[in-house]
Amino acid sequence: MSKTAFTPRVFSGIQPSGNLTLGNYLGAVKRFVEMQESGIQTIYCMVDLHAVTVWQDPEKLRHNTRELAAAYIACGLDAEKSILFNQSQVSGHAELGWLFSCVARLGWMNRMTQFKDKAGKNAEKMSLGLYAYPALMAADILLYHTTHVPVGEDQKQHVELTRDIAAKFNHDYKTDFFPIPEPVIDGAGTRVMSLRDGSKKMSKSDPSDNSRINMTDDADTIAKKIRKAKTDPEPLPDNLDALKDRPEARNLINIYAGLSDQKPEAVIAEVAGQQFGQFKPLLADLAVAKLAPIGDEMARLMGDVAEIDRILGKGADRAAEIAEPILAKTFDIMGMVRSR
C-alpha cells in the first residue's frame, strides 16, 4: 500500500465504439453522474485510443466520439463540474501507456479474460494493441493520480491490474508516487446482460441489435426490444434466490432496479407473482420514461458539433494541466534525461 495520502480523484472512460448501451449507462455513465455530485474531482474520457484496438472507420469514429460526448452531457455530466475530453487529445495517455507496458509482466496480461473473450480463437489475428489494452488503461487511471474508478463488473480485472502496475512501479523505483486506485462497482446495474442470452453481457459490439438497448433507440424500439427479450414461462417469485437459475429473469429485475434506483430485493417484492406479460410492459414504460429523453437530448446536442468539439478541447486542456507534471515526474523517477 502506498503511504502517501492522495487527494480523492475519480477517473473513468468509455470507448467511442458506437451503440452506447443500457449496460454502459447503468454500469458506468449513471454512476459517473452520481460521483460528479459527490464533491470529488471527476474526470471522464472518451477512450478513442482504446477503440482503435479493433478496426474503426475514421468517419464513424469521429461521429461516435462526439455522440459519446453528447451522451455524457445528456445523462447529466456537466463540462464545468467534470473534466470531459477524448483521450487522444492528451498525449500523456500514450506515453505513460508505453512506460507501463514495460512495467506489466506478460504473465499478468495473459490472465486478462477480456482479451480472451474478444480474441476468441483468432488471437493470432488480433492487434498488439488489443493485447496491451490493460497497460494503457492503467496509464489512463494513474496519469491523474486517480484514487477511485467507477466501472462495470467486466472491468474489475483491469483495475486490479492497474493496482498491480502501480504497486510494482512504486516497489521497483522505491517510491510512493502512484496511488493504488479502488474500483467502485456498486448498484444493480454493474453487470447488465444481453436481452437474448442471460449468460452474456450486454455489449455495444454484439452482432444482434436486439441483444441490447441503445441510448439512441426511440421509444417504440425500446418497448419492442423489451417485449421480445428472452424469458421463461414461470411467474416471478418473491425472492432473489429463486432466480438463481433464471438469468434472463434476474437480468430484467436488475434492469428495473437500476432504472428505478431501487434494490433488486425491493423490486422482486413489488412484482412477485406477476407473469412476464404483466412485468415487461412495466419495465418498458420505465425504460422509455428514463431513456427516451436522454436519446432526444443527445440528438439535439449532435446538432451543434462545433460546441461539442469546443467542450472536448477545453476538457483536454484541463486534463493535460493535471497530467503533464505527473508524467514529467514519472520520467524523472525512471531516469529519463529531460533537458528542455
189 contact partners, CB below 8 Å, separation of at least 6? 23, 25, 26, 27, 30, 152, 254, 255, 257, 258
Q: Would residue 329 show up in a list of annotated catalytic residues for this protein? A: no
Catalytic residue (one of 118, 225, 280, 290): 118
Answer yes or no whether residue 203 interacts with ligand AQP by CB under 6 A.
Answer: yes
Coil vs helix vs strand at 108? helix
Nearer to ligand AQP, 169 or 255 (CB): 255
Of 9, 11, 23, 145, the residue at the interface with ligand AQP (CB under 6 A) is 23
Of 93, 145, 148, 201, the residue at the interface with ligand AQP (CB under 6 A) is 201
Site for ligand AQP in 150-179 (CB under 6 A): 151-152, 154-155
- Residue 233 is given by DSSP the state S
Q: Report how far apart, in Å, the C-alpha atoms of 55 and of each of 133, 154, 203, 284 are.
A: 14, 22, 16, 34
Nearer to ligand AQP, 154 or 270 (CB): 154
Of 11, 24, 45, 250, the residue at the interface with ligand AQP (CB under 6 A) is 24
Catalytic residue (one of 30, 201, 280, 290): 201
For the chain, the distance separating the N- and C-terminal CA atoms, rounded to the nearest angstrom, is: 34
Of 9, 11, 21, 225, the residue at the interface with ligand AQP (CB under 6 A) is 21
Report how far residue 308's alpha carbon sits from residue 302's, in angstroms, rounded to the nearest whole number: 8
Decide if 13 contacts 46 (C-beta within 8 A).
yes
Answer yes or no whether residue 205 interacts with ligand AQP by CB under 6 A.
Answer: yes
Cell numbers for 14:
468509455
Q: What percent of the chain is helix, strand and coil (3-state, nearest 5)?
A: 60, 10, 35
Answer yes or no whether residue 34 interacts with ligand AQP by CB under 6 A.
Answer: no
Q: Would residue 204 show up in a list of annotated catalytic residues for this protein? A: yes
Decide if 29 contacts 72 (C-beta within 8 A).
yes
Nearer to ligand AQP, 169 or 259 (CB): 259
Nearer to ligand AQP, 258 or 315 (CB): 258
Which residue type occupies 287?
A: A
State the number of binding residues for ligand AQP (CB under 6 A): 22
Catalytic residue (one of 121, 174, 200, 204): 204
Q: Would residue 3 show up in a list of annotated catalytic residues for this protein? A: no
Nearer to ligand AQP, 206 or 292 (CB): 206
Element holding 41 (H helix, E strand): strand 41-46
Residues acting as catalytic residues = 118, 201, 204
> Which residues of the shown chain bind ligand AQP in the complex (CB under 6 A)?
14-15, 17, 21, 23-24, 26-28, 151-152, 154-155, 189-192, 201-205
